Amino acid sequence: MDAATTTKAGDTQVALTGAKIITAIKQSGVEFVLAVPDIVTSKGLLFPIAADKELRLVRVCKEDECVGIASGLTYCDKRALILIQYTGFLDSLNAIRAVAVEYKQPIVMMIGLLGHEPERLPTESGRYGVRIIEPICDAMGIPHHLISHDADVPRIKPAIDRAYTESSPVAFLIGRRPS
Protein backbone atom coordinates (compact mmCIF):
# COMPACT_ATOMS: atom_id res chain seq x y z
CA MET A 1 0.00 0.00 0.00
CA ASP A 2 1.41 3.39 -0.93
CA ALA A 3 1.08 6.71 0.83
CA ALA A 4 -1.82 7.71 -1.41
CA THR A 5 -3.96 4.95 0.09
CA THR A 6 -3.06 5.64 3.71
CA THR A 7 -4.88 7.95 6.07
CA LYS A 8 -2.32 9.50 8.41
CA ALA A 9 -2.69 9.22 12.16
CA GLY A 10 -3.88 12.45 13.69
CA ASP A 11 -5.94 13.37 10.61
CA THR A 12 -8.64 15.82 11.70
CA GLN A 13 -11.34 14.44 9.38
CA VAL A 14 -13.79 12.34 11.36
CA ALA A 15 -16.78 11.56 9.18
CA LEU A 16 -17.35 8.33 7.32
CA THR A 17 -20.79 8.21 5.77
CA GLY A 18 -22.34 4.86 4.96
CA ALA A 19 -24.54 6.37 2.24
CA LYS A 20 -21.44 7.60 0.39
CA ILE A 21 -19.86 4.15 0.57
CA ILE A 22 -23.07 2.55 -0.72
CA THR A 23 -23.19 5.03 -3.61
CA ALA A 24 -19.61 4.12 -4.56
CA ILE A 25 -20.45 0.42 -4.35
CA LYS A 26 -23.43 0.88 -6.69
CA GLN A 27 -21.44 3.08 -9.09
CA SER A 28 -18.94 0.23 -9.42
CA GLY A 29 -21.66 -2.10 -10.69
CA VAL A 30 -21.89 -4.28 -7.58
CA GLU A 31 -25.28 -5.99 -7.42
CA PHE A 32 -24.73 -8.49 -4.61
CA VAL A 33 -23.47 -7.89 -1.08
CA LEU A 34 -22.49 -11.07 0.75
CA ALA A 35 -22.34 -10.56 4.47
CA VAL A 36 -21.98 -11.89 7.95
CA PRO A 37 -23.21 -9.24 10.42
CA ASP A 38 -20.34 -7.05 11.57
CA ILE A 39 -20.74 -4.65 14.48
CA VAL A 40 -18.44 -2.07 12.84
CA THR A 41 -20.44 -1.80 9.62
CA SER A 42 -23.97 -2.96 10.59
CA LYS A 43 -25.63 0.36 11.41
CA GLY A 44 -24.05 2.48 8.67
CA LEU A 45 -23.74 -0.11 5.88
CA LEU A 46 -25.41 -3.49 6.43
CA PHE A 47 -28.81 -2.20 7.58
CA PRO A 48 -29.09 0.38 4.75
CA ILE A 49 -27.91 -2.22 2.21
CA ALA A 50 -30.60 -4.63 3.45
CA ALA A 51 -33.23 -1.96 2.75
CA ASP A 52 -31.77 -0.89 -0.62
CA LYS A 53 -33.82 -2.08 -3.61
CA GLU A 54 -30.83 -1.89 -5.99
CA LEU A 55 -28.58 -4.24 -4.00
CA ARG A 56 -29.22 -7.89 -3.18
CA LEU A 57 -28.04 -8.85 0.29
CA VAL A 58 -27.03 -12.48 0.75
CA ARG A 59 -26.53 -13.40 4.39
CA VAL A 60 -24.21 -16.30 5.01
CA CYS A 61 -23.25 -18.32 8.07
CA LYS A 62 -19.45 -18.21 7.65
CA GLU A 63 -17.27 -15.71 5.89
CA ASP A 64 -15.47 -18.25 3.72
CA GLU A 65 -18.82 -19.08 2.09
CA CYS A 66 -18.78 -15.53 0.71
CA VAL A 67 -15.61 -16.21 -1.25
CA GLY A 68 -17.09 -19.14 -3.20
CA ILE A 69 -20.37 -17.34 -3.84
CA ALA A 70 -18.60 -14.17 -5.03
CA SER A 71 -16.43 -16.25 -7.35
CA GLY A 72 -19.46 -18.05 -8.75
CA LEU A 73 -21.24 -14.77 -9.43
CA THR A 74 -18.32 -13.58 -11.58
CA TYR A 75 -19.05 -16.47 -13.96
CA CYS A 76 -22.55 -15.02 -14.36
CA ASP A 77 -21.11 -11.55 -15.09
CA LYS A 78 -22.34 -10.27 -11.73
CA ARG A 79 -20.30 -8.17 -9.35
CA ALA A 80 -20.29 -8.90 -5.63
CA LEU A 81 -18.82 -7.35 -2.52
CA ILE A 82 -18.05 -9.26 0.68
CA LEU A 83 -18.87 -7.33 3.88
CA ILE A 84 -17.16 -8.93 6.90
CA GLN A 85 -15.23 -8.21 10.08
CA TYR A 86 -11.45 -8.66 10.25
CA THR A 87 -11.87 -11.79 12.39
CA GLY A 88 -13.88 -13.35 9.56
CA PHE A 89 -11.18 -12.35 7.09
CA LEU A 90 -8.61 -14.13 9.25
CA ASP A 91 -10.89 -17.16 9.53
CA SER A 92 -11.27 -17.26 5.72
CA LEU A 93 -7.63 -16.97 4.71
CA ASN A 94 -7.44 -20.39 3.08
CA ALA A 95 -10.46 -19.70 0.85
CA ILE A 96 -9.11 -16.24 0.04
CA ARG A 97 -5.67 -17.70 -0.73
CA ALA A 98 -7.04 -20.37 -3.04
CA VAL A 99 -9.87 -18.58 -4.84
CA ALA A 100 -8.87 -14.92 -4.82
CA VAL A 101 -5.10 -15.17 -5.02
CA GLU A 102 -4.17 -18.46 -6.70
CA TYR A 103 -7.19 -18.66 -9.03
CA LYS A 104 -7.05 -14.89 -9.59
CA GLN A 105 -10.70 -14.12 -8.91
CA PRO A 106 -12.03 -10.58 -8.42
CA ILE A 107 -12.96 -11.05 -4.78
CA VAL A 108 -13.88 -7.62 -3.36
CA MET A 109 -13.77 -7.47 0.43
CA MET A 110 -14.93 -4.70 2.74
CA ILE A 111 -13.46 -5.54 6.13
CA GLY A 112 -14.58 -3.90 9.36
CA LEU A 113 -11.70 -3.29 11.75
CA LEU A 114 -13.41 -3.99 15.08
CA GLY A 115 -11.60 -2.22 17.90
CA HIS A 116 -9.41 -0.16 15.59
CA GLU A 117 -8.44 3.21 16.97
CA PRO A 118 -9.33 5.63 14.12
CA GLU A 119 -6.56 8.06 15.07
CA ARG A 120 -3.94 5.36 14.43
CA LEU A 121 -2.90 3.47 11.32
CA PRO A 122 -4.06 -0.15 11.46
CA THR A 123 -0.44 -1.37 11.65
CA GLU A 124 -0.04 0.74 14.80
CA SER A 125 -3.21 -0.57 16.48
CA GLY A 126 -3.19 -1.84 20.01
CA ARG A 127 -5.19 -4.83 18.76
CA TYR A 128 -3.01 -7.58 17.38
CA GLY A 129 -5.69 -8.80 14.95
CA VAL A 130 -6.11 -5.35 13.43
CA ARG A 131 -2.34 -4.79 13.32
CA ILE A 132 -1.71 -7.87 11.15
CA ILE A 133 -4.40 -7.34 8.46
CA GLU A 134 -2.33 -5.09 6.18
CA PRO A 135 0.83 -7.24 6.43
CA ILE A 136 -1.23 -10.33 5.57
CA CYS A 137 -2.74 -8.56 2.56
CA ASP A 138 0.76 -7.47 1.52
CA ALA A 139 2.13 -11.00 1.86
CA MET A 140 -0.75 -12.34 -0.24
CA GLY A 141 -0.43 -9.59 -2.85
CA ILE A 142 -3.92 -8.24 -2.13
CA PRO A 143 -4.20 -4.49 -2.76
CA HIS A 144 -5.86 -2.79 0.20
CA HIS A 145 -7.23 0.64 0.98
CA LEU A 146 -7.99 2.17 4.36
CA ILE A 147 -11.42 3.79 4.33
CA SER A 148 -11.70 5.94 7.45
CA HIS A 149 -13.08 9.24 6.15
CA ASP A 150 -15.42 10.41 3.43
CA ALA A 151 -12.34 11.65 1.56
CA ASP A 152 -11.27 7.98 1.19
CA VAL A 153 -14.53 6.86 -0.46
CA PRO A 154 -13.56 7.92 -4.03
CA ARG A 155 -10.95 5.09 -3.97
CA ILE A 156 -13.68 2.45 -3.90
CA LYS A 157 -15.02 2.50 -7.46
CA PRO A 158 -11.65 2.55 -9.27
CA ALA A 159 -10.32 -0.24 -7.06
CA ILE A 160 -13.40 -2.42 -7.68
CA ASP A 161 -13.22 -1.71 -11.42
CA ARG A 162 -9.52 -2.68 -11.39
CA ALA A 163 -10.26 -5.90 -9.49
CA TYR A 164 -12.76 -6.96 -12.14
CA THR A 165 -10.65 -5.75 -15.07
CA GLU A 166 -7.51 -7.54 -13.82
CA SER A 167 -9.37 -10.46 -12.20
CA SER A 168 -7.69 -9.93 -8.85
CA PRO A 169 -8.80 -9.42 -5.24
CA VAL A 170 -9.02 -6.12 -3.36
CA ALA A 171 -9.67 -5.27 0.29
CA PHE A 172 -11.17 -2.12 1.79
CA LEU A 173 -10.38 -1.76 5.47
CA ILE A 174 -13.16 0.13 7.22
CA GLY A 175 -11.31 2.05 9.92
CA ARG A 176 -14.29 3.54 11.76
CA ARG A 177 -18.01 2.95 12.07
CA PRO A 178 -19.82 4.58 9.15
CA SER A 179 -22.69 6.82 10.15
Considering the domain boundaries, does residue 6 fall inside one?
no
Model pTM score: 0.90
Domain count along the chain: 1
Contact 39, 113 (CB under 8 A): no
Contact 14, 148 (CB under 8 A): no
Considering the domain boundaries, does residue 116 fall inside one?
yes
Considering the domain boundaries, does residue 19 fall inside one?
yes
What's the pLDDT score for residue 9? 45
Task: Report the 10 Å Cβ neighbour count for 152.
Answer: 24
Which tens digit of pLDDT belongs to each residue from 117-151?
988 999 999 999 999 999 999 999 999 999 999 99
Contact 115, 130 (CB under 8 A): yes
Considering the domain boundaries, does residue 40 fall inside one?
yes
Considering the domain boundaries, does residue 45 fall inside one?
yes
Q: How far apart are CA 32 and CA 9, in angstroms?
A: 33
Of 153 and 43, the structure prediction assigns the larger pLDDT to 153
Antiparallel, parallel or unpaired: β 30-35 and 56-59:
parallel
Considering the domain boundaries, does residue 2 fall inside one?
no
What mean pLDDT do residues 155-166 have? 98
Residue-number span of the structural domain to which 155 is assigned? 14-174
Residue 59 has pLDDT above 80, yes or no: yes
What CATH number should be reported for the domain holding residue 135?
3.40.50.970
Considering the domain boundaries, does residue 93 fall inside one?
yes
Q: How confident is the model at residue 2 (pLDDT cuts 50, 70, 90)?
A: very low
